[in-house]
Amino acid sequence: MKILQINKFFYRRAGAENYFLELSRALEELGQKVMYFSMKHPQNLKTPYEKYFIENIDFGNGAKKSLKKAEHFVYSTEAVKNLNRLLKNEKPDIAHLHNITHHLTPAILDVLRYHKIPTVQTLHDLQVMCPNYKMFIMDQPCERCKKHKYWNCFFYNCVQDSRAASLLSAFEMTFHNVLLKTYARGISRFIAPSHFMQKKMIEWGWPEEKISYLPNFVERKRDSTIARKNQIAFVGRFTKDKGVYLLLEAVKKLPHIRFVFAGSGEEEKQMQDIITKQHLNNCQLLGFLDEQKISTLIQSSTAVAVPSLLWENASLTVLESLSLGTPVIASNHGGLPELVQNGENGYLFTPASVDELVLAIEKVFKNSPLQIPENQYTKASHLTRLLKLYEEVVAKK
């Protein structure tokens, strides 16, 4: 089968990119023909399909105020032209989309439909429903845009705390979901990596028959020679919605336990200032680590904390931690309770409650070590189900 994988980034940037790239490699190992459509970037992996990629575009630093870039943000004529050329030359059997908004834009769905290419899209976040991708503003979950009430995004200044960006995002959602119905017409099947995502899509009015549940996969080899340390690890983006400040409050209350943060993000400087000024000597920011170092860090930690304030979908940090036999302490909402069973492979706590978070951390050290079973989310199982899904979608062409 000739499979076109589409994602706006073609380098390891976040969880969606990790899945997209690992999936593509796994499909190639099975003998499938995999081709790519993405955006050029200095960090991109090498591929002969780069000749079809669109030029790099950065929407940061007020770029959304530029009329030319605002137009690209909603409907990329460059992506339409380049993808049309790829489809004519390469003739894929199916397209698997990941994150496409703003850079590639949903405009590419019209091109795929014109060429009669069946499509599936993995829902890595809530973007199909929510203009800011997260359903999270003012430090709490939000569903004000349900039933296409996207103007709330502008009223509540949901995107980048910017009126211009929020207005543009609200317009984009209205343009594609209400006026053109781009996703409804252009996606043959959505893939929900969590039951939470599947349920949320149905609640927001998407047809149940168009949404298939398929959890992500992760495969990491456990190393029995790595000794556990008296430490809690955080792995991910340093943002408020990921609960980094909540975890720092726990750091203050547990001076006898070491905490390490691996990653980077917009709150990194503020976090370091807190650690320095409040003399949190039991806490360290490690910065961005590569895949191998992350695996070693997870295996050497007593537990991994995922204190997210927002609704997580299918956290790859959780999947990786459990695959490596490390318990997870997680907020009890979104898709996290599907992965973390309280007292079995980790502990759940009420979101935003520092006291419950502290109690959960203390349980990890006081109770008998949790015996984490072997990985339930294997690559082989995932590929079998995904290829079957591909075949179903192609058969309905």
Print the domain residue range for 57.
2-216+379-395
Q: Are residues 246 and 356 in the same domain?
A: yes
Average pLDDT, the chain: 93
Q: Are residues 19 and 49 in the same domain?
A: yes
Taking the whole predicted model, whether its pTM rises above 0.85 is answered as: yes
Give a yes or no: residue 373 inside a domain: no
What is the rounded CA–CA span in Å between residue 297 and residue 294?
Answer: 5
Q: Are residues 47 and 8 in the same domain?
A: yes
Give a yes or no: residue 261 inside a domain: yes
Kindly state the average pLDDT of the residues 374-391. Answer: 92
Highest mean pLDDT among 131-135, 156-160, 304-308, 316-320: 304-308
What is the rounded CA–CA span in Å between residue 142 and residue 135?
Answer: 5
**The CATH number of the domain where 305 resides is what?**
3.40.50.2000
Give a yes or no: residue 57 inside a domain: yes
Q: Are residues 201 and 259 in the same domain?
A: no
What is the rounded CA–CA span in Å between residue 208 and residue 205?
Answer: 9
Give a yes or no: residue 374 inside a domain: no
Q: Are residues 162 and 274 in the same domain?
A: no
State percent of the chain over pLDDT 90. 84
Give a yes or no: residue 333 inside a domain: yes
Give a yes or no: residue 91 inside a domain: yes
- Give the tokens for residue 105: 């834009």
Q: Are residues 189 and 309 in the same domain?
A: no
Kindly state the average pLDDT of the residues 112-135. Answer: 96
What pLDDT was estimated at residue 70?
66
- Number of Cβ within 10 Å of residue 2's Cβ equals 12
Q: Are residues 390 and 260 in the same domain?
A: no
- Number of Cβ within 10 Å of residue 373's Cβ equals 9
- Number of Cβ within 10 Å of residue 18's Cβ equals 16
What is the rounded CA–CA span in Å between residue 230 and residue 259?
Answer: 9
Q: How far is CA 252 from CA 206, 236, 392, in A?
A: 44, 20, 53
Domain count, the chain: 2
Residue pLDDT, tens place only, 12-67? 888 889 899 999 999 999 999 999 999 999 999 999 999 999 998 876 655 444 54
Q: Are residues 128 and 185 in the same domain?
A: yes
